[in-house]
Structure 1
Amino acid sequence: MLWILVLHIAALLFWGACLLYLPALISGIARQPDAIEQRPDPFDSIIRFIFTRVATPAALTAIIAGTLVFLINHTVTLWLMAKLTLVVGLVFVHTMQGLLLLRLEARNGKPVQLWCLLLALAAAVLMGAILWLVLAKPPLEAWL
């Protein structure tokens, strides 16, 4: 069971790093589109590679391993439900970053910098809240 927990934490570290790095990368490329060489395949970029080959597999691994951890431990508490709700928020941020990537690749001139900032802030707040819930395990039943 311990190796599943280690896998869950490692995948979370990769996923969280990608969620914080991708908005900065997208924003930087959107500011200087001429700084990047034109490739024959427009879908061959470092942003797409990180999103599809690192962030998405890390997200799926983290979610599957986390699900296995609480299924094996038979843990069903209110703080865990709150954590899973925040994880849904991270999945939403991940999806929005994918849409932002598509907007950048379309090069339709729509601004992306504000969305990058908002998504990075949302990811940081959600990850901080999840970390607090996991480490503190507050008695949320008293709040109901």
Structure 2
Amino acid sequence: MPWLKLLHVSAVIAWAGSLFYLTIALALASRETSPAVFSNAHRRTLLRGLFVGVATPAALLAIASGTAIFMLYGPLAPWLIVKLGVVGLLVLGHASCGMLVLRIERQESPWTKLAYLVCGLSLLWFATIAWLALRKPF
């Protein structure tokens, strides 16, 4: 069981870090005057590579290992139900980042202030999940 928890925590850290970096990279890539690293040739490689190669596998691993921990421990506490709801919001934030990657690749106008907000809120949701898991307030 400790190995499963270590796997879960490691995957969550990788997911949080990649979403944090991806949010900043998306904001830079969508600006009118992007830095040289965000030229059209590099956008697809960097943004899609980070989303598909790092963030999504980390998310799937975190969710799968969290589900396995939930199935092995079994007891259903109110804080866990709230935590699972916040994880659902986090998945929406992850999907919003994926939508932004596609819009930037297609060079569509980013009407996406709401999506940027959801991506940014993902960091708050990670903090909320950590607080719920460590504190178990109710």
Amino acid at match of 2:26: I
Q: Does 23-32 or 62-71 show the bigger shift?
A: 23-32
Output the CA distance in 2 between the equivalents of 1:21 and 1:115. Answer: 18
Q: How does 1:125-140 map to 2 (within 5 A)?
A: 125-139=124-138
Give the conservation status (yes or no) of the 8 Å contact 1:27–1:116.
Answer: no
Output the CA distance in 2 between the equivalents of 1:28 and 1:71. Answer: 41
Once the two structures are TM-superposed, the CA of residue 34 in structure 1 deviates from its matched residue by 7.3
- Secondary structure of 2:30 counterpart: helix
Q: Does 49-58 or 68-77 show the bigger shift?
A: 68-77
Output the CA distance in 1 between the equivalents of 2:111 and 2:62. Answer: 31
Q: 1:98-132 CA deviation, whole Å, 9 max, x = no partner? A: 001111111123355x4464134311211111111
TM score, norm. by length of structure 2: 0.88
Partner of 1:65: 65
Partner of 2:19: 19
Give the conservation status (yes or no) of the 8 Å contact 1:26–1:116.
Answer: no
**RMSD of aligned residue pairs (Cα, Å):** 2.0
Gaps of 5+ in 1: 140-144
Output the CA distance in 1 between the equivalents of 2:121 and 2:40. Answer: 32
- Secondary structure of 1:108 counterpart: coil
Give the conservation status (yes or no) of the 8 Å contact 2:18–2:54.
Answer: yes
TM score, norm. by length of structure 1: 0.85
Partner of 2:28: 28
For the pair shown, the structure with the greater C-alpha radius of gyration is 1
Output the CA distance in 2 between the equivalents of 1:116 and 1:24. Answer: 13
